[in-house]
A and B are shown apart, each in its own frame.
Chain A
Amino acid sequence: MCTTCGCSGAASHHHSEHDLSEDGLSENDLREDSLHTSGSHTHDHQNSPDSHIHHHNDQARILEVEQSILSKNDRFAADNRQRLKAHNVASFNLVSSPGSGKTSLLVRTIEQLRDKAGIAVIEGDQQTELDATRIRETGAPAIQINTGKGCHLDAHQIGHALDHWDLDSVDLIFIENVGNLVCPAAFDLGETARVAVLSVTEGEDKPLKYPDMFYGSDLMLINKIDLLPYVDFDVAKSIEYARRINPDIEVIQLSAKTGEGMTEWTRWCLQHLEKDTSIARDNRAESCNTNA
């Protein structure tokens, strides 16, 4: 409703066009309206479907925007998801602190899976091609995205990375996000599943310290378990903490170095080629941005 004239805002109008007797305006409104007839006050309810504009010359007007600032990223993510689904590609967004062993894990994963599936990798780092080079040494194609000052990958960058490949020849895409347990949590990339990697050289309380990341992840990989005899990391506690935040989170313990647990992990990846989880993920993305 227009607070100046009390109209319902259903159509474009100018104040001088109001039929005053039919509008039933108060004397005060009429006085104000007489000012409007000079042409200084116009309304437009029709030309902006998602906002309500009032013109009062140089007076400030309020535009109701009601839009999530992640809505642009979410639109790109939805496009990526649809595109990957159309080509039957499963994609995984790997998130963790720096140094959890994501790249070593991917190298080992490619070695174990390359005979079973077409694999491609998107590497996200602030600087250097080092990680993409390590991946390419396995024979798998890799795109390096340098985020510069950015602390996370976004869906728009992923869309451009996908342009580099014939998606019909790819089955699995691994996206290694920037090592950061905070910022990547907010940005849906259009992935099939999000995988949080936690290494035993970190604290078991990481899920509680960085809850957003574990809330939004489908799987927690506990990496470097070959080092468990040498560190104080409490595996049971780390799982309990993660499930306080996300009761549905799956957990796999592994060592990319010794290969222990790798079969369970690669099986988990392959099962996503058979089941389509992107619909569930779409729903969840929606519930995370209820006001988008």
Chain B
Amino acid sequence: MHELSLAEDMRDLILEKAEKDGFRKVEKVWLEVGELACVEASAMEFCFSAVMAGTPAQGAKLEIISIPGEGECHQCHHRWRVQELYDCCPECGSFGARIIQGREVRVKSISVI
């Protein structure tokens, strides 16, 4: 359930932005979550609304943008869409992809007033 602490970090990030950029209300947050990031969207949504209570982002909508996993084979350097960390390379059959994309949890943008 580390979604709770991730949501708290997201809240801190938004509060820092609010102080710096001077907005009073957040209407929507676009969050990029990699498919290999070990973050459960429904848990994230639940924690988001819980931790934003009493902040400018109270009641804000959270939109999760799923980022596909991409890996590179450490043997033949073929790149493919990795579904699981233990997928083997579809070209040469080797295990052990270097993950290039899909582990990120990143606030892309926020809609504010």
Contacts and interface: CB of A to CB of B under 8 A. Distances in A.
Given A69-B107, A245-B85, A215 B9 contact: no
Contacts of A187: 2
What band does the interface of chain A fall in when counting residues whose beta carbon is under 8 Å from B?
A: 35 or more
Contact of B84 (A60, A64, A186, A211): A211
Contacts of B107: 65-67, 69
Interface string A87-99: 0000000000000
A241 interface: yes
B86 A66 contact: no
Contact of B21 (A53, A68, A287): A53
B interface majority secondary structure: mixed
A186 B113 CA distance: 32
Contacts of A72: 9, 12-13
B96 A66 contact: no
A150 interface: yes
B38 A212 contact: yes
Interface string A153-166: 01000000000000
B68 to A, nearest CB: 14
Interface in B71-92: 74, 84-86, 88
A240 to B, nearest CB: 9
A220 to B, nearest CB: 14
Contact of B13 (A69, A186, A215): A69
Contacts of A51: 17, 21
Contact of A215 (B4, B20, B99, B104): B99
A208 B98 CA distance: 16
Given A215-B85, A247-B95, A68 B105 contact: yes
Given A208-B86, A245-B86, A69 B101 contact: no
14 contacts: A62-B111, A63-B23, A64-B108, A65-B109, A66-B107, A68-B104, A69-B10, A151-B1, A154-B5, A187-B2, A244-B95, A247-B74, A287-B98, A291-B104
What band does the interface of chain B fall in when counting residues whose beta carbon is under 8 Å from A?
A: 35 or more
Interface string B2-34: 101110011011000100110100011001100
B57 to A, nearest CB: 12
A74 B14 CA distance: 17
B108 A65 contact: yes
Interface of A: 48, 51, 53, 58-73, 149-152, 154, 182-183, 185-187, 207-208, 211-212, 215, 241, 243-248, 287-292
**Most B-side CB within 10 Å, residue of A51, A65, A288:** A65
Instruction: List the 10 shortest-distance A-B pairs measured between CB atoms, nearest first.
Output: A247-B96, A183-B2, A211-B85, A244-B95, A65-B107, A244-B86, A60-B111, A69-B9, A291-B104, A69-B10
Contacts of A65: 13, 17, 107-110
A290 B17 CA distance: 21
A292 B109 CA distance: 14
Contacts of B105: 68-70, 186
